[in-house]
Amino acid sequence: MPNIVLVGGQWGDEGKGKIIDELSETADVVVRYQGGNNAGHTVKIGTDKYVLHLLPSGILHPGKVCVIGNGVVVDPVALMGEITALEAKGISVGGRLYVSDRAHVVFPYHSLLDACRENAATGERKIGTTKRGIGPAYGDKVSRVGLRMADLVDPSFRELLAVRLEEQNKVLQALGGEPLDARQVLDQYTEIACRISPYVADTILVVNRAVRDGKAVLSLTAGAFFGPFLGVSLSLLAVQSGNVGIASAIMSIVPVLIIAPSALILKEKVALREIIGSVLAVAGVFALFLA
């Protein structure tokens, strides 16, 4: 099996989970390299139902190594909730899950900022956010003020978070929101840091060592028309090259690309504009490789 990158050809919800689950059977390493816990896959195995927002669904396959890469923004509370839920069903992730030490962390103030902005918007100015703080977390990343997983597990974490809380509480109040209880947030995330620290690693090394050893790597992301750097207002080709380029840069490998537009692969009923979007997505990638 070659190294494969699976990219949704639309705005998400293309049914990638079904394809990922199939490809995961022959992959050794499954990598989530972008997005946050506003996305998700629902997988049914027999009578059991698993809803995953951050963990790659490859974690449900015994012996598969799963990676949450540095392009993901990680809500550590949500992630630990998923890990706990799986372990309650007898699925152990110990030794099989690696979370990038460079991935940025989603904190409660990100979710509140998300909600404040969405609630203040009217009509077409609303963006339909899930209010889970993904956009504001990427905003902090681009602004170079965000905290990473490496910071979360560092001894200086409380001091670093205290500075961010002081600033973000002022922003929340300016937007008409309620400030967070800094002590409560500091205590909660100090405790979660202890629980999540065994999973934090340099995932670039993890993936590259797997490639060096001849392992098959499967990488996945959200819809091609979403992205913190190359959004829907830019050209399709730029969005596609951004998604593929991010994966290649993170893994330092040249992958085989699979696009998963629901209209073309899963043959679902979709609007004409979505079919056109899927066709353009495929055409854009071919243009990228021919350029």
* pLDDT tens sequence across 69-115: 999 999 999 999 999 999 999 999 999 999 999 999 999 999 999 99
28 belongs to the catalytic site: no
If pLDDT is split at 50, 70 and 90, which confidence band does 283 have? low
Comparing 4-96+202-290 with 104-198, is the CATH topology the same? no
213 belongs to the catalytic site: no
Average pLDDT over residues 199-210: 94
Which position has the higher pLDDT, 212 or 234? Answer: 212
Which position has the higher pLDDT, 122 or 71? Answer: 71
Q: What is the pLDDT at residue 51?
A: 85
4-96+202-290 CATH choice from 1.10.10.10, 3.90.1010.10, 3.40.50.300, 3.40.440.10: 3.40.440.10
Q: What is the pLDDT at residue 1?
A: 56
Q: What is the pLDDT at residue 44?
A: 76
Task: Name the 3-class secondary structure at 2.
Answer: coil
What are the residue ranges spanned by the domains of the chain? Answer: 4-96+202-290, 104-198
Asked if residue 134 has pLDDT above 80, the reply is yes
The pTM of the full predicted model, rounded to 2 decimals, is: 0.79
Active-site residue (options: 21, 28, 41, 53): 41
Active-site residue (options: 13, 21, 154, 202): 13
Q: What is the CATH number of domain 104-198?
A: 1.10.300.10
What percentage of residues in the chain have a pLDDT greater than 70?
71
Q: What is the pLDDT at residue 129?
A: 81
Q: pLDDT averaged over the chain?
A: 79
Beta strands in the chain (DSSP E): 4-8, 29-32, 41-45, 48-52, 65-68, 73-74, 97-100, 104-105, 200-201, 217-223, 256-259
Per DSSP, the residues of 154-207 read: STTHHHHHHHHHHHHHHHHHHTTPPPP-HHHHHHHHHHHHHHHGGGEE-HHHHH
Q: What is the pLDDT at residue 128?
A: 77
Task: Name the 3-class secondary structure at 22.
Answer: helix
